[in-house]
Copies of this chain bind each other. A is one copy, B any other.
Amino acid sequence: MQDPVRVGLLGCGNVGAPLVRLLDENADRIAARAGVAIEVTRVAVRDLERRRDVKLSIDRFTTDAAAIVADPNIDIVVEVIGGLEPAGRLITEALEAGKPVVTANKELIARQGPELFETAARAGVDLLFEASVAGGIPLMRPLRESLAGDRIHRVTGIVNGTTNFILTRMADDASSFADALAEAQRLGYAEADPSADVDGDDAAAKAAIIATIAFGAQFHIGDVHTEGITGITDDDIASARLLGYVVKLVAVAEEIDHAVAVRVHPAMVPLHHPLAAVRDSFNAVLIEGEAVGELMLYGRGAGGGPSASAVLGDLIDAAHNLVSGAKGATIVGLTDARVRPIGDLESQFYLLVEVADRPGVLAAIAQVFGDHGVSIQSMEQRGLGADARLMFVTHRARESDLRATVEALREVEPVHRVGSVLRVMGDVR
């Protein structure tokens, strides 16, 4: 009998504890699949006293993560601590010591992914990170393996469950943003400080990882044009319903003329679009490829169970590669990113304009659109007199032209305010 593969687990919380339970409960199946038994040999935690519902004797636990990484008895390191440091240093040391690493660390991969991939490639070992994007949804593996020979045009994802929950509540219950956020916090979907979610930064980190893997180039979180959902009002939600859309926070990475645009922003999604039906805290990613056409992957994007499932899939892979002597499936040859500026992008737009409704107003506004080369597809008016609101949907227009239009609209006398400006998502090809 071959010796088991010995895993050093860094972190035993929300993801680590269910991972240990899965390894225990499904040990036979896992060993059959990996070609070797997998044993959690040592576990690093911050607090040795905390009760954890895992069947591991207390002498396997330590507070010294670095000692686990350096331990010659440890074959594979699994990092589920999160955050940039000490996780980044620990992973680098493990890779340099020739140990495959499995991580769920989105922040780290989004910020230091390309450097870590190079370290892994130099050492010739696996660095796997399926759980870092969209939790339990297999996304990295399909992008890297199933679609490896296809040409990907665009990836569009709902990759933040908190904001999707908030937007679903606003649409279903006519809740305000504040009430929906409070409900998300009560249910544990949102943190006490929700800014990373509602400002779009969490989605932006995932967008950078997706763009890197889908297009084989080094994208960092700073390359992602990011807008959150804090400005979304009840009016926008109502307008969306009226016009046949639903508001979603989307992460988009698409190749246009050999440059890749990566962005996170709320968008009006047509009701019959596959992403429109993604509700509550679910995540989904729509991949559009040359040969495969449209492919959507849908599931639980967060939570201990789904993330542990994804980490375990990677761990089995790493263990199988280790004992079968396969070369690590390293990510090499990433090119420098050619980022397409957001101002160059074209899309349809929705605008909410608050005006005093008097004769000639629409003509004055339409003139402003026309002056900037932006053509109007539809207009709906709600309210009358001093409190009229005009909802415009434009034809496709350049982002920079649209911005100039908005600036100019603010100068039109009967315009009280230009409210939300949202991109309108086109149909799937």
Contacts and interface: CB of A to CB of B under 8 A. Distances in A.
A327 B319 CA distance: 13
Interface stretch (A39-47, A196-204, A308-316, A416-424): A308-316
A294 B283 CA distance: 11
B333 A295 contact: no
A197 B100 CA distance: 46
A141 to B, nearest CB: 6
Contacts of A305: 290-293
Copies, count:
2
Contact of A310 (B18, B146, B333): B146
B293 A145 contact: no
A241 interface: no
A150 B137 CA distance: 13
Nearest to A32: B333
B29 A149 contact: yes
A77 B326 CA distance: 21
A429 B372 CA distance: 52
Interface in A1-60: 18, 22-23, 25-26, 29-30, 32-35
A146 B138 contact: yes
Interface stretch (A221-229, A296-304, A377-385): A296-304
Nearest to A148: B33
Given A292-B305, A327-B35, A312 B22 contact: no
Contact of A316 (B25, B148, B295, B310): B148
Interface string A243-265: 00000000000000000000000
A321 interface: yes
Contact of A293 (B33, B295, B299): B299
Contacts of A310: 146, 292
Given A296-B299, A309-B291, A32 B332 contact: yes
Contacts of A358: none
B150 A26 contact: yes
Interface in A266-310: 274, 277, 289-300, 303, 305-306, 308-310
A293 B333 CA distance: 35
23 contacts: A22-B290, A29-B148, A29-B216, A30-B148, A32-B333, A34-B148, A130-B146, A136-B292, A136-B295, A138-B146, A141-B145, A141-B146, A145-B316, A146-B309, A148-B312, A149-B316, A150-B313, A274-B298, A291-B305, A291-B308, A292-B305, A292-B306, A295-B298
* Shortest beta-carbon contacts, A-B, top 9: A326-B326, A149-B312, A138-B146, A295-B299, A296-B298, A291-B309, A136-B292, A292-B309, A146-B313
Given A291-B312, A293-B305, 8 more contacts: A22-B290, A25-B151, A26-B149, A33-B144, A148-B313, A150-B313, A292-B309, A295-B300
